[in-house]
Every structure is written in C-alpha cells, then in structure tokens.
C-alpha cells in the first residue's frame, strides 16, 4: 500500500471508530473519556493520576474530575501508593470491569447483526484485516510513534493514523 492511500484509510478507520464507539455502544451514561480511562486501568493496572492523565491525553485537573465522578459511581478506587504516601493510585473496581464488559457485549452483539447483513466476501475481508489492524495499533503505541513525544510528526517518514488508543476496547 502506498503512503498516498493513508488519507482514504484514515477516513475509513475514523468512520469505523465512530460507528463502534458512538452508534453501537449502549447508552450507559459512560462518556467516551470515562470508558477509555476504565479500559486503560483494566489493561494496565492501577496508575498514578498524573500518568493516567498523560496516557489519556487530558490535563491533570480534567482527569481528577473524571476520576472523582468514576469513584462516586463505584467504578474506580483511589489508594495511597505504598512506595510513596504522597501519591494516589487509581484502580478499576469489579463494577468498572462489569460496566466495560457490558458495553463491549452490547457493541459486539450489535456489530454481529451488521456483519450478518454483509456478503461472505466482505466479512472475510474484514476478518483478514484484523492482524494488520492489530499491527497498526502496536506501531501507534510505540514510543517513537507519530503523535507521541519524541515520535515523528505527520508528513515526515510516516503518515500518522493514530487517533485513538485501541489497545483494549471500551
């Protein structure tokens, strides 16, 4: 594939992300930012608030506000870091995991209904693309990835396709 095809692929991936995250997700009361934060905690384990804010690309005050709301809903906990009593670590609760699991299950069921309406050839093509999509995600998560500190900028050697951290679905 030529790098010139990146704009078309970017547009298609953006439409797919929008479909998966907005149209197929249940109206659960979880914002995209809240679901993404829970998914990060589920995938990576407890995080310092500052690390979590940086990973999610938001300010520390915005993350503090989000974590307070999630804690109030019983979806996360805040605990003192045993190695440094001045530091708070945020972790996901069983209720947070259940909320993510429900969101994923509903989205998966709705996607299955759409997939059933595609031709077998289109379903096979989508399934065949899964390893390439996973490889793209791994590249996007690398420290030298476009859009990360120290990474190349779009238009340099690689055209950036990184829009959302999709290491775990939310």
Segments making up each domain of the chain, as ranges: 3-141
Nearest alpha-carbon partner for 37 in 85, 72, 70:
70
Q: How far apart are CA 3 and CA 19, in angstroms?
A: 25
Report the largest interatomic distance among the alpha carbons of the chain, rounded to a whole angstrom: 57
To the question of domain 3-141 being in CATH 1.10.10.10, the answer is yes
pLDDT bin (cut points 50, 70, 90) of residue 64 is very high
Q: Which pLDDT score is estimated for 71?
A: 97
* pLDDT of residue 119 exceeding 80: yes
Q: How far apart are CA 121 and CA 16, in angstroms?
A: 18
In 3-state terms, what secondary structure has residue 43?
A: helix
Residues 6+ apart with CB under 8 A from 56: 33, 36, 37, 40, 63
pTM comes to: 0.72
pLDDT bin (cut points 50, 70, 90) of residue 18 is confident
Q: What is the mean pLDDT of residues 27-54?
A: 91
Q: Which pLDDT score is estimated for 32?
A: 86
């Amino acid at each position: 594939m030529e790098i010139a095809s990146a704009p078309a692929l970017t547009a298609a991936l953006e439409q797919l992300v929008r479909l998966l995250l907005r149209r197929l997700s249940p109206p659960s009361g979880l914002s995209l930012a809240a679901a993404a934060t829970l998914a990060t905690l589920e995938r990576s384990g407890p995080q310092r608030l500052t690390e979590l804010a940086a990973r999610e690309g938001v300010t520390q005050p915005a993350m503090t506000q989000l974590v307070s709301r999630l804690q109030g809903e019983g979806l996360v906990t805040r605990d003192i870091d045993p190695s440094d009593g001045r530091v708070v670590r945020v972790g996901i609760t069983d209720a947070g995991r259940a909320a993510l699991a429900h969101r994923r299950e509903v989205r998966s069921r709705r996607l299955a209904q759409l997939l059933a309406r595609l031709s077998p050839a289109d379903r096979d093509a989508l399934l065949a693309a899964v390893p390439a999509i996973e490889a793209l995600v791994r590249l996007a998560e690398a420290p030298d990835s476009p859009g990360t500190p120290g990474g190349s900028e779009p238009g340099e050697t690689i055209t950036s396709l990184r829009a959302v951290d999709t290491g775990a679905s939310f």
